[in-house]
Amino acid sequence: MGLIVEEEESDVVLVPPSNFSMVEDGIFRSGFPQSDNFPFLDTLNLRSIIYLCPEPYPEENLEFLQSRNIRLFQFGIEGKTEPCVSIPKDTIMEALKVLIDVRNHPVLIHCKRGKHRTGCLVGCLRKFQNWCLSSVFEEYQHFAGVKSRITDLRFIETFEVMCLRQCLYSIIYQYQGYGSNKRRLLYKEDKLQKPQVTSV
């Protein structure tokens, strides 16, 4: 899958990362971006990337982020398949705080293949957005395909979004206009908790 942009001297093929999709306005998801995906990522005007793997970010990718002033938020979640290895709820909670902060948008969420760890984070976001559980599971399974994990679905089902609402404290979303997607974030500077940023 690719888009062709015609220029005067040459054609640039825009290739999205594997499993790429828009989650909603200003939020995207995908597998791990490769160098041939960089021109496509340029079109998204990203402000941040949420990276859900424990491995160090490749130097080539770091250079791309630095040249575009894109912030990297890394939350190291092991990509284990064993049922006894659970996804850390605290880590997902911290990633969600970064994800719902519109100051970090446009933002790309990715892990290695954009299926399990990314699917869990997006699934928890959907619960925060009051999606019904069947729709949350359907979206997860759409991206995970035959690699769908029952442990991920159980994690999403039992994830308590009320904890996230209680942790937001001074962050208030205001929706302007009926049915509008435009959002503004108000902050009380004396209580603002700044997210941790990984140096790039």
Residues with active-site annotation? 111
DSSP characters for 54-123?
SSPPPHHHHHHHHHHT-EEEE--------TTS---HHHHHHHHHHHH-GGG-SEEEE-SSSSHHHHHHHH
Which H helix or E strand runs over 158? helix 150-158
Using CA atoms, how far apart are residues 114 and 22, in angstroms rounded to an integer? 12
The encoded tokens of residue 150 equal: 């029952």
Do the beta carbons of residue 143 and residue 119 sit within 8 Å? yes
Hey, what's the torsion of the CAs at 131, 103, 162, 24, to 10 degrees?
10
The encoded tokens of residue 141 equal: 């399974």
DSSP one-letter code for 198: B
Do the beta carbons of residue 14 and residue 4 sit within 8 Å? yes
